[in-house]
Amino acid sequence: MIFQIKETKDLTAEELLAILIERVAVFVVEQECPYQEADEEDKTALHVCLSDETGLKAYARIINRGDCVTFGRVLVVQSARKQKLGQQLVQRVLEEIQQRFPEKPITISAQAYLRKFYESFGFKVVSDIYLEDNIPHIDMSLTI
* pLDDT, tens only, 116-141: 999 999 999 999 999 998 899 999 99
The whole-number pLDDT of residue 34 equals 87
Instruction: Name the pTM for this structure.
Output: 0.94
- Give CATH for domain 2-142: 3.40.630.30
Would you kindly state where each structural domain of the chain is located, as residue ranges?
A: 2-142
The whole-number pLDDT of residue 76 equals 96
* 40-47 contact pairs (CB < 8 A, 24+): 42/8, 43/8, 44/7, 44/8, 45/7, 45/8, 46/5, 46/6, 46/7, 46/96, 46/100, 47/5, 47/6, 47/7, 47/8, 47/11, 47/15, 47/19
- For the segment 41-67, the average pLDDT, to the nearest whole number, is 96
Chain segment 81-110, per-residue pLDDT in tens: 999 999 999 999 999 999 999 989 999 999
CA 5 to chain centre: 12
Chain segment 6-36, per-residue pLDDT in tens: 999 999 999 999 999 999 999 999 998 888 8
CA 26 to chain centre: 12
